Chains A and B, each alone.
Chain A
Amino acid sequence: MSLNEPLVIEREVKPLDFLAAGETASEFKDTLRSLGISAELCRRTSIVTYEAEMNIVIHGGGGSIAMKMEEDKITIVASDEGPGIEDVELAMQEGYSTAPDFIRELGFGAGMGLPNIKKYSDELEIDTKPGKGTTLKAVIYLDSGEA
């Protein structure tokens, strides 16, 4: 089996659009399922997508999220032109959050976003510069099974 080009689906993420959050995750999951990909991998992709989407909604001020499907892996790329992450290592710690109070009151911003993305993906790359935005790339391998 061989594929010439990876298939990419890209969705725009609008700032503060909590209502739509989860829709992309759900769409990506359904797409993967129609390809015959296992429930566990669908769920991992769905969580990574959701958390990345929430990060863009909360911190990024809007951006885009894309899913790239290749024969051996799924890559989620989330990018925004927001404030960037000051200290990536600190942001990776569970419970650390810079989300504003009004967002925490909505029940979001518990500081689990990045740790969750790391937990459910096989590779994680974060390219960020303060003031210039963030691009996050998470890879899930099709033969990796349980996280």
Chain B
Amino acid sequence: MAHGIRINENACRGCVNCIKVCPTEAMRVIHGKVRILEDRCIGCGECIRSCRHRALSLQENDWDKVSSVRPITLASDPALCTQFPWSPNPAILDQVLRGLGFEPIFEECSMAYDLAALAISRAIENGSAADLPMISTYCPAVVRLVQIKFQELLSHLAPVESPLETCIDLWRARHNKHDVPASLVVACPARVAMVENPVGRDVSSADFVISTARITREILSRSHGIQESAERKAKDSRWLNWAMLGGETRHILQFAERPVRTLAVSGMKNVISLLQDIELHRMKGVDFVELRACDLGCIGGISNAESRFLSRLKIENYGYSPELSEEERETLESLYEAKIWKLQEEIRSIEQVPLGRDMAKAMEKLEELHSVYAELPHLDCGTCGRPSCRIMAEDIVRGESSVDDCIFRLREKIAALSEEINGLSRRLVHTMTPEERI
């Protein structure tokens, strides 16, 4: 399973910063190098943020390969629009990109986001009350987290595809470009993983992934500023707002026909805490939750160059245009009827391997785990390459580690051994008299 993170083993120093910040305990340091457990990683990118040796990065496609075919068709996370020293108006970025030989498909992006917002608002209205609050599927790290750790909440996930997939489908259908490769600009590893291993569909609509950092550099180094005459298309502000926490909710409310109670929460810790509350049935009366792994939403994505605070300011200052023209509404309705927003497959759980092959065996192992854990120092120092003593105990019981990998236990063992050696060295040899003893 893809996780969207590239490890540069030469740069990895085997420090344990990354394994300590991982919210799903998916990282280990083995023989001095970091490893990622693919079935536990959600691609949130917290590890990349914590790495001071630049050993972790986005697993994007090779730029030379992507740029060898011109024009480069680009769909993008709207966070890209906020990365430049000009207005976040997507129409301006569109113009700049065209000047550099790209073919941005922002018109389809805008339509796909309108469609997603409409579809979610209808799904909230028509869905079963037991599956509320509905959980946004826009952040792929959150979707993966639910699949791995909150499986009982799978039915709460919105049955609506990411508009970043839909927009490329839409562009291919409208322009009959079924064989033209399309690239998706992303700000985090989870979106890279979304293209490599899509959730809710068989194959991603995108052929390549490029980081916002790469495109931003490409534009800033080659572009000669902007022409002020760029046409202002106010309608583009709706999808732009999805880059910022609360933007999706705002868009959905615009289509709602009854009052909808929503919550928007960002940051891994907050997301996990909110999911726990939903699990415990403490979110009764809330209809929709917008959850984002990154602080402030996708503008906080690991690959962005611009400060997320400035990005938010830019979006807020740019303004919002809730109105859709009659014609836009009609197009939207027909796209809704065509169901191209719908997830093609159900989102399934990602099962963890149980401790034992049956309940009895698993309970035996669990008991062993508890006694192994009791003997560990409970300092969570990470020196064994595991994020905590608790995970260390689990890895020992699963046969993936040994008690001797714990530096504290090893010290005790060495102390005991050296005492034994000392004792043995004082043992009287039969050919010696007690006076000759050292």
Residues in A lying within 8 Å of B, measured CB to CB: 1-3, 7, 9, 22, 25-26, 31, 33-37, 39-40, 42-43, 46-47, 50, 69, 71, 116, 142
Ranked nearest first, the 3 interchain pairs of A and B with the lowest CB-CB distance are A36-B354, A39-B151, A43-B152
Query: Which one of B91-99, B254-262, B275-283 is at the A interface?
Result: B275-283
New A-B contacts (15) at CB < 8 Å, excluding given A2-B360, A40-B152, A46-B280: A7-B366, A9-B370, A22-B276, A25-B280, A26-B276, A35-B354, A35-B355, A35-B363, A35-B366, A42-B152, A47-B279, A69-B366, A71-B359, A71-B360, A142-B359
Q: Which residues of B contact A42 (CB under 8 A)?
A: 152
Bound-state Cα–Cα, A113 to B131, Å: 21
Contact in complex: B354, A22 (CB < 8 Å): no
Q: Which residues of A contact B352 (CB under 8 A)?
A: 33-34
Q: Give 7 CB contacts A-B under 8 Å.
A: A1-B360, A2-B360, A3-B360, A7-B366, A34-B352, A39-B151, A47-B281
Q: Tell me which of B280, B358, B359, B366 contacts A47 (CB under 8 A).
A: B280
CB distance from B77 to the nearest CB of A (A): 31
- Of residues 326 through 361 on chain B, the ones whose CB sits less than 8 Å from some CB of chain A are 349, 352, 354-356, 358-360
Contact in complex: A3, B151 (CB < 8 Å): no
Number of A-B contacts (CB under 8 A): 58
B324 at the interface (CB under 8 A from A): no
B interface size (C-beta, 8 A)? 21
CB distance from B286 to the nearest CB of A (A): 13
Bound-state Cα–Cα, A50 to B356, Å: 27
Residues in B lying within 8 Å of A, measured CB to CB: 151-152, 154, 276, 279-281, 349, 352, 354-356, 358-360, 362-363, 366-367, 370, 394
Bound-state Cα–Cα, A7 to B360, Å: 10
Contact in complex: B359, A35 (CB < 8 Å): yes
Q: Which residues of B contact A33 (CB under 8 A)?
A: 352
Q: Which of B280, B352, B354, B366 has the most CB of A within 10 A?
A: B280
Contact in complex: B362, A36 (CB < 8 Å): yes
Which chain A residue has the least Cβ–Cβ distance from B273? A22
Q: Which residues of B contact A37 (CB under 8 A)?
A: 359
CB distance from B252 to the nearest CB of A (A): 26
CB distance from B385 to the nearest CB of A (A): 20
Which chain B residue has the least Cβ–Cβ distance from A34? B355
CB distance from A20 to the nearest CB of B (A): 13
Contacts known (A34-B366, A39-B349, A43-B152); A22 close to B280, Cβ less than 8 A: yes
CB distance from B308 to the nearest CB of A (A): 29
Q: Tell me which of A34, A43, A46, A142 contacts B362 (CB under 8 A).
A: A34
Contact in complex: A31, B152 (CB < 8 Å): no
Q: Which residues of B contact A40 (CB under 8 A)?
A: 152
CB distance from A127 to the nearest CB of B (A): 25
Which chain B residue has the least Cβ–Cβ distance from A43? B152
Q: Which residues of A contact B281 (CB under 8 A)?
A: 47, 116
Q: Tell me which of A43, A46, A69 contacts B363 (CB under 8 A).
A: A69
Q: Which of B281, B355, B394 has the most CB of A within 10 A?
A: B281
CB distance from B352 to the nearest CB of A (A): 7
CB distance from B193 to the nearest CB of A (A): 22
Q: Which residues of A contact B370 (CB under 8 A)?
A: 9
Bound-state Cα–Cα, A69 to B356, Å: 15
Q: Which residues of B contact A35 (CB under 8 A)?
A: 354-356, 359, 362-363, 366
Bound-state Cα–Cα, A31 to B358, Å: 15
Bound-state Cα–Cα, A116 to B281, Å: 10
Q: Tell me which of A1, A22, A43, A46 contacts B358 (CB under 8 A).
A: A1
Bound-state Cα–Cα, A46 to B355, Å: 20
Contact in complex: B280, A31 (CB < 8 Å): no
Q: Which residues of B contact A46 (CB under 8 A)?
A: 279-280
Q: Which residues of A contact B358 (CB under 8 A)?
A: 1, 36
Q: Which residues of A contact B349 (CB under 8 A)?
A: 39
Q: Which residues of A contact B152 (CB under 8 A)?
A: 39-40, 42-43
CB distance from A3 to the nearest CB of B (A): 5
Q: Which of A35, A46, A116 has the most CB of B within 10 A?
A: A35
Q: Which residues of A contact B359 (CB under 8 A)?
A: 1, 3, 35-37, 71, 142
Which chain B residue has the least Cβ–Cβ distance from A21? B280
Bound-state Cα–Cα, A26 to B275, Å: 11
CB distance from B92 to the nearest CB of A (A): 46
Bound-state Cα–Cα, A29 to B152, Å: 11
Which chain B residue has the least Cβ–Cβ distance from A36? B354
Q: Which residues of B contact A36 (CB under 8 A)?
A: 354-356, 358-359, 362
Q: Which residues of B contact A7 (CB under 8 A)?
A: 363, 366-367
Q: Which residues of B contact A26 (CB under 8 A)?
A: 276
Which chain B residue has the least Cβ–Cβ distance from A26? B276
CB distance from B189 to the nearest CB of A (A): 24
Q: Which residues of A contact B276 (CB under 8 A)?
A: 22, 26
CB distance from B25 to the nearest CB of A (A): 10
Q: Which of B279, B354, B358, B360 has the most CB of A within 10 A?
A: B279
